[in-house]
């Protein structure tokens, strides 16, 4: 990675929320539950960065997701409409949640992506369980258990 100014922002069809300064970008096709999961996370205390389209700026400090220029703090709740929620201007991308793939392993461990600005990002696949949002919230807040430490 070259030193200096951040690169041009990368665009993703994704909804992003943050817990403190750790962001989770939720990806998947339309209707896969991106906004629904984000609303559950916001209900637990997360803050919205962007709904439906996320801009990632990569610089020396890593990848950061940026709030949109318009409709900051606005998310679509299907069947309810556009609603205002707590929001944050940016946060460091820590996690990608893929709503298009179901997790089949009981203890999957960490999966790494390397295609977001050259930085490794943890990947979590969709879990069809009522605790999924809570687990993601605490993964962002406190990290993954490491048996080696």
**Among all residues, which ones are annotated catalytic?**
13, 34, 52, 106
Whole-angstrom Cα distance, residue 59 to residue 63?
A: 6
Q: At 132, is the secondary structure helix, strand, or coil?
A: helix
Backbone angles phi, psi at 90, to 5 degrees: -165, 160
Which pairs from 74-77 meet CB under 8 Å and 24+ separation? 74/48, 75/15, 75/35, 75/38, 75/39, 75/42, 75/48, 75/51, 76/35, 76/51, 76/52, 77/35, 77/39
The two three-digit tokens of residue 31, written as one number: 């209707």
Residues 148, 41, 75, 129, Cα dihedral to 10°: 100
């Amino acid at each position: 990675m070259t030193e200096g100014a951040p690169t041009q922002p990368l665009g993703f069809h994704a909804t992003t929320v943050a817990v403190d300064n750790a962001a989770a970008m939720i990806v998947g096709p339309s209707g896969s539950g991106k906004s629904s999961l984000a609303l559950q996370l916001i209900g637990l205390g997360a803050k919205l960065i962007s709904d439906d389209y996320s801009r990632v700026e990569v610089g020396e400090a890593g990848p950061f997701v940026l709030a949109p220029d318009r409709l900051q703090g606005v998310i679509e709740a299907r069947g309810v409409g556009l609603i205002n929620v707590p929001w944050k201007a940016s946060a460091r991308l820590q996690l990608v949640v893929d709503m298009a793939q179901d997790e089949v392993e009981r203890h999957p461990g960490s999966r790494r992506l390397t295609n977001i600005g050259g930085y490794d990002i943890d990947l979590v696949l969709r879990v069809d369980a009522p605790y999924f949002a809570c687990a993601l919230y605490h993964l962002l807040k406190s990290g993954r258990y490491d048996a080696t430490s």
